Amino acid sequence: MLFRAAMSDLSLTILPETAGDAQPIERLLERTFGPGRFVLSAYRLREHVDHRLDLSFTARIGTLLVGSVRQLPVCIGDTPALLLGPLTVEPPFRSRGVGRALLERALADARAKGHTLVALVGDEAYYSRAGFRMIPLGRADMPGPVDRRRLLVKELTDGAFDGVEGMIRPDWRFARQT
C-alpha cells in the first residue's frame, strides 16, 4: 500500500522498509542519534529480535530518504506487543509532518495486521497527539537504564492494556537466528 502525504510544497512518500534500506537508515540513525544510541534500553532489545519490515517504514521525498520508523515484536509480561522506534527524521525536514506521517502509517498497519498494543520510550508531549500515554510507574519496566516516565503505550484496540504488566522484553518467537 502506497501512502502519500502532502508536505506544503513537497511530495512525501511513505513506503514499507525493505532489506535494501538498512544501510541508508543506519546512516540516518548515526546522524540523528549518534553512537550513544547503542547504550539505550531499547537497543538492548533490538540486539535479540529484528524489527518487522512489514511494520517499519521509510519516508522519501523523491528518492531522498528523509525519515524512518521501525517496530519490533516484544512482550510486556506475557502479552505480545510492538515496540515502536526509533522514529527519526533528517533535521532539515523536521516540523513538516514527516514524523507524524511515519507514526500514523506504522500504527495503522499494526492495527490492520491484528496487533493490539504498541509501546515506546519517548516524550509524552509529542506522542500523546497519536494517543500514547505514560505507563503507570511500576506496571512495566525495561532492562537497563530507562526513564520510566518515558515508557508510553497505545492501545490499538480498546482495553488491550487492561491487566497487562511486567518486563518489556523481546518476543522470543521472533528471536534472531545466530
Q: How far apart are CA 11 and CA 50, in angstroms?
A: 30
Q: How far apart are CA 46 and CA 38, in angstroms?
A: 10
Beta bridge partners of 83: 72, 119
Every domain of the chain and the residues it spans: 3-172
pLDDT, one tens digit per residue, over 21-63 is 999 998 888 877 666 655 566 666 777 788 999 999 999 999 9
Preceding omega of 16 cis (within 30 degrees of 0)? no
CATH topology of domain 3-172: Aminopeptidase (3.40.630)
Q: Indicate the burial class of 70 (C-beta count within 10 angstroms; 0-12, 13-18, 19 or more).
A: buried
Work out the pLDDT band at 1, boundaries 50, 70, 90.
very low
HSE at residue 60, side-chain half, CA atoms within 13 A, is 16
- The pLDDT value recorded for residue 3 is 47
pLDDT, one tens digit per residue, over 145-172 is 888 999 999 999 999 999 999 999 999 8
Which is nearest to 111 in space by CA: 84, 86, 76? 84
Residue with cell string 546512516: 27
- The pLDDT value recorded for residue 37 is 57
Q: How far apart are CA 38 and CA 87, in angstroms?
A: 15
